[in-house]
Amino acid sequence: MTADQFKKEFGIIGKSKEIRDLVDIAMQVAPSDISILIYGESGVGKEIFAQAIHGYSNRADKSLVSVNCGAIPEGILESELFGHKKGAFTGAIENRKGYFEVADGGTLFLDEIAEMPLTTQVKLLRVIENKEFMRIGAETVTKVDVRIIAATNKDLQYEVDAKRFREDLYFRLKAVTLSIPPLRKRKSDISELVQYFISNYTAENKIVAPKITQESLDYLREFNWPGNIRELKNTIESAIALSRNGILDLSIFKNLLKKDENDSNNKNLPVFLKRSQEELDRELLYRALFEIKKDIMELKDILLKKNEVVYPPENNSANVVQPLEQAEKEAIKIALEHTRGNKRNAAKLLKISERTLYRKIIEYGLKNES
């Protein structure tokens, strides 16, 4: 297979030197069983390269199993990966296969590997080295033949220095590293990607492909694409949906990308435009918190008056302050109510990771209330 055929087969677009080099490395390492690390910002194409490597390997007819280590709560990740024996812990009501066994003979794609807890990293290294592991609660080892492709947008050397990532695992993974540069560093690929996304989207939706103006293309090439190719793809698809007379003109893109432009170039101007649902939700949340705080103050007032106790004697502001833990618990409760128990959205509102939220829900015993 030539590099061009490889790109066509796996839907990889781009003629920049960066993409050509990456394709060469991918084709070269795909057939072996060596572990691979793919590094790059969100949306640069880490997963598409993982799929291409698997698809070009001798394992192509077996499964490629994708696991996002950052999205699975810490306490659960290990049993998801390695499976468990019936009765290994509360809730383990039957024997269960983990992803390693599901991927046996194939490839396991571990996305956001930097989020993997240290204890799980130990076990991962052991599987890579010995091709065996134990299901949680099991006394015998299970053998597997799995190729590992890991991905991250974090600097793993930094994570190692911060003692959040095991050095031995890092050495093992980094031997073959594919580092995918952000889209803003390979602007020559933008036009081809734009044409590709236009024809894909219009073919899928059985509509006539609109024409894009040169002005628009220039604008797209100048944009810095913080969300990389994923953002470009979404922008093109939205633009097509908004287009009239079969033309994708500059105004459409200016409107679609206004928020980002404001963020990056006009930091000093107040932005009243286009507030996202998330921002609106957050404001609602703050308001709700504020109301609660007021209620608490009033209640305290009433109680204090009833008992005719003046407390605290001097510093009145201490009355208003509630313990941080209490405030946190309240905020989580409100966020969960507001999102009707959707933890992912609630975590976004609270600006914490899903995993942290999950831990706090257990910590505060909010589980049954949500």
Ligand X SMILES: Nc1ncnc2c1ncn2[C@@H]1O[C@H](COP(=O)(O)OP(=O)(O)O)[C@@H](O)[C@H]1O
Q: Which of the listed partners (Mg ion, ligand X, none) does 45 bind, with a CB threshold of 5 to 8 Å by partner kind? A: ligand X
Out of 40, 98, 106, 182, which residue is the one contacting ligand X (CB under 6 A)? Answer: 40
Residues between 34 and 53 that touch Mg ion (CB under 5 A): 47
Q: Which of the listed partners (Mg ion, ligand X, none) does 262 bind, with a CB threshold of 5 to 8 Å by partner kind? A: none
Site size toward Mg ion (CB under 5 A) is: 1
Q: Which of the listed partners (ligand X, Mg ion, none) does 230 bind, with a CB threshold of 5 to 8 Å by partner kind? A: ligand X
Smallest separation, CB 46 to ligand X (Å): 3
In angstroms, the Cα distances linking 226 to 42, 50, 231, 319, 349 are 9, 21, 8, 45, 21
Q: Which of the listed partners (ligand X, Mg ion, none) does 48 bind, with a CB threshold of 5 to 8 Å by partner kind? A: ligand X
Q: Which stretch binds ligand X (CB under 6 A): 12-20, 67-75, 135-143, 297-305?
A: 12-20
Out of 230, 333, 338, 343, which residue is the one contacting ligand X (CB under 6 A)? Answer: 230
By beta-carbon proximity to ligand X, the closer residue of 174 and 230 is: 230
By beta-carbon proximity to ligand X, the closer residue of 12 and 128 is: 12
By beta-carbon proximity to ligand X, the closer residue of 38 and 349 is: 38
Report CA torsion sign: 348, 350, 351, 357. Answer: negative
Q: Which residue is nearest to ligand X (CB)?
A: 45
Residues between 232 and 271 that touch ligand X (CB under 6 A): 233
175, 35 in Cβ contact below 8 A? yes
By beta-carbon proximity to ligand X, the closer residue of 149 and 285 is: 149
Other C-beta atoms closer than 10 Å to the C-beta of 275 total: 12
Q: At what angle do helices 343-350 and 277-307 cross, to 10 degrees?
A: 80
Strand bridging mode 147-152 / 107-111: parallel
- Give residue 262's identity as a one-letter amino acid code: N
Q: Which residues bind ligand X (CB under 6 A)?
A: 11-14, 40, 42-48, 229-230, 233
Query: Which residues contribute to the site for Mg ion (CB under 5 A)?
Result: 47
